[in-house]
Structure 1
C-alpha cells in the first residue's frame, strides 16, 4: 500500500520533513510570544499551504478530478480537527460559550457552517459522475446530504430569528422529537467524523485505482505513456 501512495505523490520526503520542522518551529515561536489560540493554529498551518498547493497542482496535471477529491479530503479533515478542538475545550478543559468555539472561533458562524457544508456536498456531487464505482464516495454523499439538511434548518432559523447555536433537528432540543440527549457541538463533531472517515478512505481507494490503471496503461501501451 505504501509503495502505491509514494508512486502517485509529487512531494519528496525531504520537502515534507522540512515543512513539518518549519511548522513546528513557527508554532513554538507563537507559543513563546503568547499568541492567541487562532494565532497558534495559523502559525502551524501556514507552512503547509505552499506544499498543499503544489501537491494539488501536480495531482491536477496528472489525475484531473482526483485533485478536487484531494482538496476536499484535506480541507474536510482540517474542519474535523476544528470540531475536535471544540469538544476538547468543552469536555477536557470544561470551557463554555465564546471560550469553546474551536481554534478559529471567529469563524464559528452559522453562515460559515452552512457554506462549508454546501461546499462539501457540491464537491461530492461533482466527483460522483467521475468516480461512480467508489463505494466510499457514495457513503459520503448520504452523510453529507443529511448534514446539509441539518445546517439548512439551523441557517433558516438564524435568518428568520437572528438566533445562532440552535439545535437543528437532532441535537438536544431539536425539532425531531426533541432531539437526541447530546448537545449540538457533540452531535456535529460526530457528523463530521462519520463524514470525513469514508471520504478519506474513498480518496485512498481511488488513488489505488489510479495507480493500477496507470500501471495497466504502461503495460498495454508502453510507448504512449510518459513518466509523470
Structure 2
C-alpha cells in the first residue's frame, strides 16, 4: 500500500511551519512593522507636529488618503494579522509559543473591534448613537490612541516570542521543527 501525499494546502501549511518558517516570519514581521510604523508616524504628526487628526494620515495616507478612512482596508489588515498569527503558531514551541499565543488572543479582540467598525461602515448604521463607526473600547479611548495601543500590545508579545524562538534555551525546542534558531556557538 502506498502512502498518500497530503493535499496541497496541508503541505503548504507544514512548509510554513518547518522549512519556510523563517521566511514566512520575516515577511509577516515586515508587514506588521510597516503597519505599526504608519501608526507611529500618525502619532508623531498629531502630538509632535501639531497636525489635526484628519490631516495626520501616516506616510501612505499622505499619498492615498482613502487608506486612512477605509474600514475595509483596516479590517483586512486586522484579518491578515489574525491569519498570520494562527498560521505561523505551530512553528513555535515552549515559552515562545505561549508569547505568540498571547499576541494571538489580543489580536482576536482587535479583530472583533475592526469587525464592528466594518459592520457599521458597510451598513451605514453607527452603533451607540455615535455619528461615526465606533468600536467598544473607542467609547473610552480616542481612535488614534486606541489603535496605536492595540498594535503595540500585539507587537510586544510577538517580539518576545520571536526572541525566544530564534534563541531558545538548550533543549527548549524539539529538533527539526524549523531552522529559525541561530546556531549555538
Task: Tell me the TM-score normalised to structure 1 length.
Answer: 0.57
In structure 2, the gaps of 5 or more residues are 1-15, 177-185
Match of 1:86 among 42, 67, 77: 42
Greater C-alpha radius of gyration: 1
Deviation at 1:152, TM superposition (A): 0.2
Q: Does 1:102 align with 2:58?
A: yes
- Output the CA distance in 2 between the equivalents of 1:132 and 1:154: 34
Higher helix share: 1
Q: Does 1:74 align with 2:33?
A: no
Contact 1:124 1:141 in 2 (8 A): yes
Q: What SS does structure 1 have at the residue aligned with 2:91?
A: coil
1:206 maps to 165
Q: Which has the higher contact order (CA 8 A, sep 6+)?
A: 2
Match of 1:143 among 106, 111, 121: 106
How many residues get paired? 148
Q: What SS does structure 1 have at the residue aligned with 2:90?
A: coil
2:118 maps to 155
Deviation at 1:140, TM superposition (A): 0.7
2:7 maps to none
Match of 2:91 among 112, 130, 140: 130
Contact 1:86 1:100 in 2 (8 A): yes
Contact 1:137 1:199 in 2 (8 A): yes
Mean alpha-carbon deviation: is it higher for 184-193 or for 102-111?
102-111
